Amino acid sequence: MAKKSVASLQTGSKRLTKAIKMVKSPKTGAYMFVESIMNPDQVNDFFKKN
């Protein structure tokens, strides 16, 4: 199960998005957060891949 969080960032002429995904560790079973800053059109691909 992954929770989604998306925030829009604007720096000058570039438009970026910070996405945060919560993933469950296969070893310990604990949840951890994976975050990435990317173009807005890459957000869906980030949430689909494991």
- Domain range for 24: 17-48
Query: Hey, is 15 helix, strand or coil?
Result: strand
At residue 2 the predicted structure's pLDDT band, cuts being 50, 70 and 90, is low
Closest CA to 6 of 49, 41, 50: 41
In a domain, 8, yes or no: no
The answer to whether residue 28 is domain-embedded is yes
Does the residue 36 lie in any domain?
yes
| pLDDT tens digits for range 3-45 | 666 666 666 667 888 899 999 988 999 999 999 988 888 888 9
Domain annotation covers residue 43: yes
- Side-chain-side CA neighbours of 30 within 13 Å: the count stands at 3
Instruction: Tell me what pLDDT residue 33 has.
Output: 92
Six-digit token string for 44:
């869906």
Judged by DSSP in three states, 39 sits in coil
What's the pLDDT at 48?
A: 87
Q: How many domains does one find in the chain?
A: 1
Q: How far, in Å, CA of 26 to CA of 16, rounded? A: 30
Tell me, what's the pLDDT at 28?
Answer: 92
Give the number of C-alpha atoms closer than 13 A to the C-alpha of residue 37, restricted to the C-beta side.
7
Give the pLDDT score at 5.
62
Q: 35 lies in a domain? A: yes
Residue 40 maps to a domain: yes
